Structure formats: C-alpha cells, structure tokens
Structure 1
Amino acid sequence: MITCVAIDDEPMALEVLELYCADCDLVELKAVFREPLKAMAWLSHEKVDLIFLDINMPEISGMQLAQSLSPGPMIIFTTAYSHYAVESYNLNAVDYLLKPIIFERFLTAVQKAAKVRSSENIDNSNELTVYLKSGPQTYPVKLCDILYLEKDGNYITVHLKDRNILIRENMSAVFDLVPVSDFIRVHKSFVVAIKHVTMIETHQLTVNGEKIPIGNTYREAVRDILGLR
C-alpha cells in the first residue's frame, strides 16, 4: 500500500483526490493540506511514499516545495496549466495530472508510482517466494509461477501453472503479496501477471489460455502499463 498526502489550496480539488484515493486499492491517504507551509511542517516529522502536489499555491509553489523535499517522497503534480509539464518532469515527478482529473488518469498515475516503488525495492522478483496461507496450511510459491489472482467471494483464488490455492484475503491487500512491477489489476476481480499475458483485446486479455475480462475502469491504465499507446 502506498501512503500519500494531497496538497492543494483548492478545497474542491482536495475533495476529488480524497474520493479517488478512497476508491483505489493501491493508496492510503494520510492527510490533506490547503496550506503548503503546514504540509512542509507535517512532512518534516512524518513519512509518506507519495505526494499529490498542486503547483500554483500561495506562500510557496508546488515546484519549490518539491525541490525542498529532494530527496523525498515521489511526486505527482496536479495543475490546471499544461505548460508546467516539462518543468515537473525535470524534477523527476512520477506523473503530471491536468485538472479536472478523471479517475482513469488518476489510476494510471498511481500505478506508475507503485511501479517505481516496486522497482526500487524489489530485485530479481522472479526468484522471490511468497507464502500463501490456505486454512491451516501455508504454501511457499515462486512468484514467477503465479498466473493471476481472482476474487472469489470473501476469498482469492491464486491461479498457478499447476494448481490453484484459495486464500482468505481482500483484493485491497493483493499488492502486499505481489509486486506492482510484475502484476496489474485489470478488473475489480482480477489481478494478472504481466509476463504471462499472451494476448490483449479491447475487453479481455489471455493468460495461459484463460480469458480474463478488462473492466472499464481499468482499461486506460492497462493500455498505459502494457505500452499499447
């Protein structure tokens, strides 16, 4: 789970980000700030992974705030002005969201941030072993053997190359088990291993011969992550 804060002097912009964060399994919003200096004071003693940061603000601009934190949390800039894009990427921002922000674009930005964090923290992920608890048994499973995960009521079915394992877990916790660098959520009920995707269509993709639906909410993010633009 990516911890984050949102900093914006516009109340409506913060409300949108709060709503989107509540609807996204990948992020946990820790705080919101309308005053950037108060945000800086809070960040001086609290740690988060990501900041949604407006650029045009009183007292100090988002660009100045980001520079003051370097090195620091990942940054996703939010603004109504497209001409800041180049400058934001010069600051190594993860993404740049142009207002009004739509949820699909927000989701793409968050998945980029998750991928950056995973690439920084996980090396040789194909050699990693995860431990899946199913009832009284716990199974060691190589990450590279996981094809996809499917929501099954109050459980998740982990589909492997040679078997399935049923675990009691929520979809919101899937990315605590598997890295976003190697897996992508394509539907409210499905997370798939990117390396095992063999075909992509408009409304579905294929993993190990199985057809997996692509939800409308996730379609744009799937296209971005898989490089289909």
Structure 2
Amino acid sequence: MTAIAIDDEPIALDVVRNHAAKVPFLELQATFTNAFEAMDYLRQQPVDLLFLDIKMPDISGIEFFRSLSRKPLLVFTTAYSEHAVAGFELDAVDYLLKPFSLPRFLKACNKAHEWLQLRDTNGTKAYLFVKTGYDQVKVNFEDIDYLEATGNYVNFVLGNRHVLSRMTITECEVLLPTDRFVRIHRSFIAAIDKVEKIERHQLAVNGSILPIGSSYLAAIKNLSAKA
C-alpha cells in the first residue's frame, strides 16, 4: 500500500515516517511540508493512501483533498478534535489525533489496507452480496443504476427493484469497481454506463435526476472527458 504524508510541521512528519517504517505492508513514498508540491506529485504519481494534516498555511487539508480529481484513501492527522466532523464528511478512513501512538497509527493503516483489498478484490467480480436483515442478497453490478445513502442505510436502486442495506456509502464505494461507478455526491454513487445526461449541478441516471456535490465536480469532469 503506497502513501504520502502532508504536514507543515517537520516534526509531525518525522513521527509518521518513524511509524510507517514499522508497518510491513505500507510504503511511505514521500513527505511534504508544502501542500502544492504534494499536489504536483500526486498528479504524476498516484498513491493508495494520504496522511493529511488539516491546519496548514495557504490551503487547509480539507480544501486540498476536495481539490483532488483522483482521491486516494484518506487519514487525517491533526491536533484539533473539532475537525472530526469534516473528516466524516470527506469519508476519511480514520482520524488520528496528535500525538498518536504507533498502535493507533497501525490501526488506521490496517483499516485502510482492508478497504483497499476489498476494492481490488471486487474489481475482478461482476457482483457483490449485500446484507438485508438476516439475508445476503446477490446484486449484479450491471443491474445497479445508483446508490443512495438514507440515514444509516444505503439503498441500491436496480431499475424498479430496491435493496436496502445497513452500511455506509463509503463502505459501498470501496466494494464497487472504480471503472464502473463514480461517487457524485456525499449521498450518491452512480453507475457510469447508466448516466444519460450530465448538467452543471445534476445528472440523469436511467430516468432519475441525481445531484452533483461540489466536492465531486472534478470526478464528473473526468467522466465527461472520457465520454
């Protein structure tokens, strides 16, 4: 699992480097005190995971992550607990509150690694099993129009059929192949081949109109470019 770390404090980066060196499945490729240098690096060398401070000069970690068109898995590293809500909104894998220990760092890495393995494994399959109540329901990727988060559940919309499962939209995103599905909103994931029309703030998916979140505009522009 490849990663980079961004923090305006060199001492904080030393902590991440020292911890990362002890995690056998993690390759910390680079560290940055300058967010814009990191942005240029990511354009040329995408990674699986990003360790990101929130309070930085010129651009915050939140603004930085929202600007990325290709988003890696995210672990926030910050000294400010009040930013936990922002981490949740950006679907961060974890939220490390400074100073964090090696066991706590390892826990975040394990979680990210599990998400990454789930995503890679499902990229070779044409379906997934979704838990509904006590049952496991098989859902073919080709049948999915879109997914919608509703409270603590996610609604899989399959034409006229719906499958409701108690899971988060981020957990679903990890399970879906990235070449077939795109996150368009905090609460919506759309099947790329079911998109009929893309407008400025919404798109049509098999007859349904779905909103486009401001944080996901770059992904939609990339989708338009491929069309």
SS of match in other structure, 1:6? strand
Helix, strand or coil for the counterpart of 1:34? helix
Q: Matches of 1:224 and 1:145 in 2, distance apart?
A: 23
- Aligned pair count reads 173
For 2:45, the aligned partner's letter is: A
Matches within 5 A, 1:38-49: 38-46=15-23, 47-48=25-26
Q: Structure 2, unaligned stretches of length 5 or more?
A: 48-57, 74-115
Deviation digits for residues 65-91 of structure 1, max 9, x if unmatched? xxxxxxxxxxxxx33599xx4xx479x
Q: Cα RMSD over matched residues?
A: 3.9
Q: Secondary structure at the match of 1:94?
A: coil
Structure 2 equivalent of residue 22 of structure 1: none
1:1-229 to 2 correspondences below 5 Å: 6-8=5-7, 10-11=8-9, 34-36=12-14, 38-46=15-23, 47-48=25-26, 53-54=31-32, 78-79=35-36, 85=40, 88=41, 92-94=44-46, 100=59, 103=62, 106-107=65-66, 109=68, 111-113=70-72, 121=120, 125=124, 127-227=125-225
Identity %: 27
- CA deviation map 1:136-183 (0-9, x unaligned): 221111122211101122211101135110111122322233133322
Aligned to 2:113: none
In structure 2, distance between residues paired with 1:81 and 1:225? 24
Return the alpha-carbon distance in structure 2 between the equivalents of residues 50 and 210 of structure 1: 42
- 1:221 maps to a residue whose letter is A
SS of residue paired to 1:227? helix
Q: Distance in 2 between matches of 1:182 and 1:108?
A: 22
Q: Distance in 2 between matches of 1:221 and 1:153?
A: 24
Query: What residue ranges of structure 1 are gaps of 5+ in the alignment?
Result: 15-32, 57-77
The TM-score, its normalising length taken from structure 1, stands at 0.59
